[in-house]
A and B are shown apart, each in its own frame.
Chain A
């Protein structure tokens, strides 16, 4: 790599960091939070003994998992305007990613809830707890321990999937790299920097995952 390439990288380090911090990371965190709440309700619906509710949840999960994320993104951003639903790129991306996380994380949460022994539900019942209280105080805090590793996978995947938002004009990290590379054809250097940025974000998240796991392990025999 010659001096002008280094110069190009140097000039774009800051704009790419700005894109990461102001677009990629917020897009990830907002979508993941909304998706997680959605996933909890979808998981509960899927576990419900009310058949239509359970079927609806199954259908949703199947649809989300059975179609490409890029297609989901295009439907939200390019497809929905035909029905009068027009969104800016960033909110459109949030909608698509949230719905996507909702489908994937629902299965993780469902499995985690099922991993809690029936006796815990019964004990909660005998001390007078109803369904919501039992979930909140007894089941979900324990299910969290099982769910954190696979949910971290979902989160880390999402960090990288946000790069797809470049296709619907969100000026996130990859889009900034693309724009910088286009006039110079120095793709390797700028996409390389983008890759490193993604990697660092994922490293930080992995570190956070370990901390959360340690915290949740405190009541388990080692």
Chain B
């Protein structure tokens, strides 16, 4: 697998990313680095732009300006961007959605091999073997032939993770992977993500799970009003935040009543 990696050169580098939807400026000026083999969690109030940050990284939302580099693919969004270049950028990362977005008309196994076989044209037998390993890794080996509707929310989300891993990306992106789940199912998904972190996957995770962010992250970004208000190791950003706004946010989310 090409995924887990270590080294000092940042795998992902984001500089001056801006994004507006109509008149609404969602990202004002976003810059950060993610070193290879590390985990970055993105936190912030709803509407802060944290999901949009993630979605610009694989051009699901195309940035209006700024430079995004993943591995050896660099895209300057201030210039007109070729579709082939966007496709190359996208191929660098695997994405896990809040609402899993599995293909309902395909079985679990078919969901996982769709990218490798249909898009990457890998031999089907190899793709199936690898998919089965990945499903075992997320604890769903025996669900391979079921349809998504036959699974629980947490299981669906873990299939979503396997589907993204099957593309052998450099970078894994998670968009609030547990926000749509029943509380009792959250743990299974977080455990899988923690295992990936331990294996050395480079990941960017948008999350509301502060305790999880604390345990798994090497770097925490606090985003508010479309800018990175505060960033650093979790002990600093979550433990001794410098900004009053960060302290207020953490107080609200950790002690909501």
- Residues in A lying within 8 Å of B, measured CB to CB: 117, 119-120, 122-123, 125-130, 133, 137-138, 141-142, 218-221
Query: What residues of A have a CB within 8 angstroms of the CB of B104 in the complex?
Result: 142, 219-220
Contacts of A125 in B (CB 8 A): 60, 90
Could you list 20 further interchain pairs (A-B, Cβ under 8 angstroms) beyond the known A122-B97, A128-B91? A120-B103, A123-B95, A123-B101, A126-B58, A126-B94, A126-B164, A127-B114, A127-B119, A127-B163, A128-B87, A128-B90, A128-B167, A130-B87, A137-B118, A138-B103, A141-B105, A219-B105, A219-B106, A220-B104, A221-B150
| Inter-chain contacts of B185 with A (CB < 8 A) | none
Q: Which residues of B contact A (CB under 8 A)?
A: 58, 60, 87, 90-91, 93-95, 97, 99, 101-106, 114-115, 118-120, 147-150, 163-164, 167
Known contacts A122-B60, A219-B147; A127 and B167 CB within 8 A of each other: yes
Task: Report the nearest A residue to B104, measured CB to CB.
Answer: A219
Assembled-state Cα–Cα distance A127/B60 (Å): 12
A-B contact count (CB 8 A): 59
- Residues of chain A lying within 8 A (CB to CB) of residue B95: 123, 126
Main secondary structure, interface of A, reads helix
Contact A119 B58 (CB under 8 A): no
How far is the CB of B70 from the nearest CB of chain A, in Å?
13
> What residues of chain A lie closer than 8 Å to B106, measured between beta carbons?
219
How long is the Cα–Cα vector from A140 to B13 in the complex, in angstroms? 37
**Distance (Å) between the CB of A116 and the closest chain B CB?**
10
Shortest Cβ distance from residue A112 to the other chain B in the assembled complex, whole angstroms: 13
Cα distance A130–B90 in the bound complex, in angstroms: 11
Closest chain A residue to B103 by CB distance? A138
A123 touches B103 (CB 8 A): yes
Instruction: Report yes or no: B101 in contact with A122, Cβ–Cβ below 8 A.
Output: yes
Expressed in whole angstroms, the minimum distance between the Cβ of B176 and any Cβ of chain A is 13
Contacts A/B (CB < 8 Å), 7 sampled: A123-B101, A123-B102, A129-B119, A133-B119, A137-B118, A141-B105, A221-B149
